[in-house]
Every structure is written in C-alpha cells, then in structure tokens.
Structure 1
Amino acid sequence: MAVVGLPAAPLRRFVLDYRGYRMSLDRPRRRLEVPTDVVTVALAFEGTMRLTDAVSPAPAVSFGSIAAGLRRTATIAEHAGALHGLAVSLTPQGAFRAFGPVAGELGGQWAEAGEVLGPRLDRLAARLADAPTWRARFALLDGYFTALLADGPVWEPDVVWAWHQLRRSRGLVPVRALVEGTGWSRRRLEQRFREQLGLAPKQAAGILRLQRTLRLLTAPDGRSARAADLAALCGYYDQSHLDRTFRGMVGCSPREFLASRRAAAATATAATGLEPVDRIVGRITSAVLDADRS
C-alpha cells in the first residue's frame, strides 16, 4: 500500500511530494532505483533497507531511516518484506535550504537520516508514527518543513540560473555555455555545484538526459520510436552511445530495464497490494527486480 500526499502550496517549490507506504510481503523485495534529480529522506517506522550500488556492486549497507542525495549511478534496494514508513522528495534547492552544506555532502551518498536531521529526527519520527492517519502525518510534515525552510540557506543566484538552464534543456546545454553565462571559471562552477547540489554540472546534466530517455522509453508509444531518433533527441551520439551510457548509470540495458517494468506491471494486475513501480510523482525511478517471482 502506498499513499501519496502533496505538500502545502508554499512548500512545493522545494518539496515535491510525500509518500506513505506499508508493505507486508511473504518474501524479500528488490528494486532498482535509477538516478533522478531528487533528494529523498525516508523515515522508517518498521523495517530496514539494504542498499548497494547497481553499477559497482559492493557489500550492501543496512539503514533504518535514510537520506539519499543525488547519485549518478543506480541503487539496488532490498527489504525483507515488511516495511512501514514514509518518504519525502525534495528538489536539490530544497534540500540545500533544509539541510545546508550537508546537502552537498550527500551527493552520491546514502546516510542515516539522523546524520542529516540530527536530534530532531527522533522527535519527528515518533510524532509521525503516533499520528492516526496519513493525512495527519502529511500535515505534520507540512509544519515541520515550513519551519525548517523558513530561514535556511539559499543557492547562489548563478547556481540557480545554471540549474534552470540544465533543467530547461533537459541536460543538453553545454557546460561551456554555463561557464560563459555565469562568468565563472569551469573549476569554480564545478565547485559551487558540488557544494550546493552534490554533483558536478556534467553529472547533473547526465541525470537529466537519462530521465528524459526513460520518460520517452516508457511512454505508450516509446518503444515504437526509432532508436537512432531517440538517441539524438536525448543528446547521445547514436544508439550505441545511449546504450553504453545507460548501462554505465543504471547497471543494465534499456531493454532489460523495460522488461523488469513490464513484469512488475503484469504482476500488479494479477495481485493487489503491491507498491507502485515509481516512487516519485512525475519521474521514472524504479524497476522491481523480482516481480516474476512474486
């Protein structure tokens, strides 16, 4: 079960959505979480998550409540079957305003949410767990983030401008154009991005291009588009370049990713109570890796 809530209107520039979830499955669940332009904080009431990099696998790390910054490579997330909590999706600008320089340090990282929220986390998590409904929990989050964002630090104007250019172009604007537009050196631009977003401009652009690729691939008529046309539209030299970049960021080919999503959709049709494939409204975020065995 998953319940999505929109934050109060004044927060929506910084907070994209809230997602409550409660799962009780009879086996572990593995999900592939692809790179997005969103910072996530997940607060656990029950259960833990085991995370590992999908491209360069290493021993999995277990977390209760998690803060996840912008990542250039995908994550494999696994839980034992029982999981109860909620997630908050923040824009990179909102994460910096809420968490300050720690938001930049989160780039490419996962961390225990307590390391980001500090002593406030225990009090917040306890109040959320005791709230009688998801609506009441979302209202508590509205109050919490209204206070947290009220006087937090802000991005430098040139970082705001450069990020807008990247998003407007879906990652296609050349870094040299951002250098010229800001009047900064390339090194200074990269430093400011790493401090305030957690990734360099080129890495952030790659995430935005990947997200556009995923949206087109998963559109109802996406698979009917010519591969070469899709590659050019999304800023790749050719289909081979798209495939190599996709595998280097996601850990599998586009065909394998789409097959996992189709398997999850078929399973969701045959059974009730499974979580939605995507965990952020308006983004392609995930593929369920074990849907064929559920």
Structure 2
Amino acid sequence: MPTTGPDTAVPDTAVPGATAEDADVWMRAHRPRPSLRGQIRRVVGFAEHAGGAVHRRELPFGGVPIILSFGDQVRISSATGSGTYTSFVAGMHEIPVDTTHDGTLRCIQVDLDPLGAYRLLGGPMSELHDAVVPVDGLFGPAWRDLGERLAELPSWPERFELLERVLGQCVQDGPRADPEVSWAWRRLAGSHGAVPIGELAAEVGWSRRHFVARFRGQVGIAPKPAAQVLRFARAHQLLTAPGARSISDVAAAAGYADHSHLIREFRRLAGATPSQLIAAVAPPPVAGAGQLS
C-alpha cells in the first residue's frame, strides 16, 4: 500500500505478485499525532473485495507491520513456516512472505519503525526475526480483540482515535532503545545500508560483538542483514519508480558491487529476479477505488 497524506482515500497500488482480478480496493490513510510519528511510519485503513482468492508476495522493507483485521483471515507462508491469522504482527524479515485471503479483507495496517516496534512491544525484537505472531498472543490486554473492537465502531475517525489511544499508552509505558542503537539505526537507514558495520560500532564506542547483540535485540536483526534489507528496499524502489532505469544503473545507485550482485540479493530477499518483480507491477486499479466510510 502506498504512503499517503492524512485521512485521504486513494486507489491501492498494485502489489508485486497480486493475482486477483476485478477487485474493489479502498484505502484511508491517517496521520498519527506528533508524539507517535517517530515510532509509526504509516497507518492505513484498508478494505478489499474480490471475486476470488487474492495472493500477494510481501517483500522485506525494513519495518514492522501490524495488521488489525476486522475478522477476516489471512494465510501466510514463508521459508520459516505457514499459518492462518486474523490480527498479527510481522517482525523484521529478510525473506519474502506470501499472503492469501479469500477475497475479502478489512483491516487497519500500522507500519512501525523497528525501534518504535521495540518500544510498543516491550520485548526482544530478535524473537520476531522472520516470524509472524498473532496480536493476541504477543501484546498486553489493551491489544486483545482490538481488530474486532475497531470493526464495531461506526466511522474511521473513531477507529483511528481508539487505535491512537492504545498506541499512545504503549509508547508511554514501553522501553526506550539504547541511544547508541537508535543513532546507529538512523545512520544505517539514512544511508540505505551503506555504512560499514565496524564503523558504526567504533563510532558508538562499543565492541563489535556487543554492538551486534544490542542492535539485534532492539531492531530485530543484526546490523549486516539489516543493511542488506535497506539496500534491497532502496533498489526495489528505484526499479519500480516511474521512468526507466537499467538494472546496472540501479545496482550502482543502491551500492551493489555490480549487476550480478544485485540479482543474487534479489533472488535471496525477494525470491525473484529484478526483471520478474518489474513485470509483476501492474498499473493501479481505478474502477471501484473510493472513499472508506
């Protein structure tokens, strides 16, 4: 789903690997209050109605999504296992994930910054590495049945208001990341994974071993694979942005050693070549797009 402005309805963009046809898709983006914006990247209300099952491949992106379903279920499969979920959180991934629903999906998606997820969840993020966990099994009482409670409210503003109350309480009560880890993550994310890990450890004044352990526990994965995910996300963004760019140009711009290196990383992180991902991106649907009520 695309990033949008506050409380705006937009047509969904095509997701690589989506196979549903004649689907009606609605979205409503919400800008969280200022106190939450350092923790949360995006909040989007989402509703999809298709004539049959919808299959998508979700790619690593350097964030932690929470899906708060209004009762609809999603089948999730990856190299680490499979299962059927209603509301769930997906930790930092460095592998692709395939999702399937039966044609109807109504939910709110909350994309968290990894350090925001650490603060909201209050536990070692490394336990969520490449994992999907039901919301009810992970969070405290405030999160229990939250998707159903959101669905019962009559309007999207009321749903977003309830969500913000829950998020605000979790942020207030949750642990703060080490300043050193926070600085290193921002530096790594701001460079799209281009800063050497040894340099980050030296600049925070920690041994490399201690730095890696603290980073993994609070971000979710070790610094080196985190850098690889960030670099991949940047390359994928460049490849699928409007305007033709060669794969070699994207490899150079994203910091890969060469064309072949980029292709190997795409096969590992996305389960597809760059050309296959580009081919999977279709024009966004227009018919049926509209305002969520």
Query: Would the TM-score normalized by the shorter structure come out above 0.5?
Result: yes
AA matched with 1:13: G
1:157 aligns to 2:179 (yes or no): yes
1:253-288: CA deviations, max 9, x gaps? 1111111112xx26x14x4249xxxxxxxxxxxxxx
Equivalent in 201, 206, 231 of residue 179 of structure 1: 201
- Using a 3 Å threshold, how does the CA distance of structure 1 residues 169 and 85 change in structure 2: closer, same or farther? same
1:89-138: CA deviations, max 9, x gaps? 11111111111114332122110111222333235334312211111111
1:27 aligns to 2:43 (yes or no): no
AA matched with 1:239: H
Is residue 125–residue 216 contact of structure 2 (8 Å, CA) maintained in 1?
A: no
Q: Which runs of 5+ in 2 are unaligned?
A: 1-25
SS at match of 1:46: coil
1:41-97: CA deviations, max 9, x gaps? 1111122111112xx4x7631111111111011111110111122111111111111
1:187-210: CA deviations, max 9, x gaps? 211111111011000111011101
1:73 aligns to 2:89 (yes or no): no
Is residue 96–residue 104 contact of structure 1 (8 Å, CA) maintained in 2?
A: no
SS at match of 2:62: coil
Q: CA RMSD in A?
A: 1.9
AA matched with 1:115: G
More helix by share: 1
1:242 aligns to 2:258 (yes or no): no
Alpha-carbon distance in 2 for matches of 1:109, 1:101:
14
Query: Residue 21 of structure 2 corresponds to which residue in structure 1?
Result: none
Is residue 136–residue 145 contact of structure 2 (8 Å, CA) maintained in 1?
A: no
Equivalent in 242, 247, 255 of residue 227 of structure 1: 247
Q: TM-score by structure 2 length?
A: 0.85
1:83-162 correspondence runs (5 A):
83-162=105-184
AA matched with 1:169: S
1:34 CA drift (Å):
0.6
Alpha-carbon distance in 1 for matches of 2:246, 2:44:
35
Alpha-carbon distance in 2 for matches of 1:105, 1:38:
15
1:151 CA drift (Å):
3.1
AA matched with 1:107: H
SS at match of 1:22: strand
1:12 CA drift (Å):
0.5
Q: Which runs of 5+ in 1 are unaligned?
A: 275-294
- Using a 3 Å threshold, how does the CA distance of structure 1 residues 71 and 59 change in structure 2: closer, same or farther? closer
Is residue 68–residue 87 contact of structure 2 (8 Å, CA) maintained in 1?
A: yes
Is residue 102–residue 116 contact of structure 1 (8 Å, CA) maintained in 2?
A: no
Is residue 6–residue 16 contact of structure 1 (8 Å, CA) maintained in 2?
A: no
Identity of matched residues, %? 34
Query: Residue 170 of structure 1 corresponds to which residue in structure 2?
Result: 192
Is residue 129–residue 221 contact of structure 2 (8 Å, CA) maintained in 1?
A: yes
Deviating runs (4+, > 4 A) in structure 1? Answer: none
Aligned residue pairs, count: 266
Is residue 48–residue 79 contact of structure 1 (8 Å, CA) maintained in 2?
A: yes
Equivalent in 30, 38, 62 of residue 37 of structure 1: 62
Q: TM-score by structure 1 length?
A: 0.85
1:259 aligns to 2:259 (yes or no): no
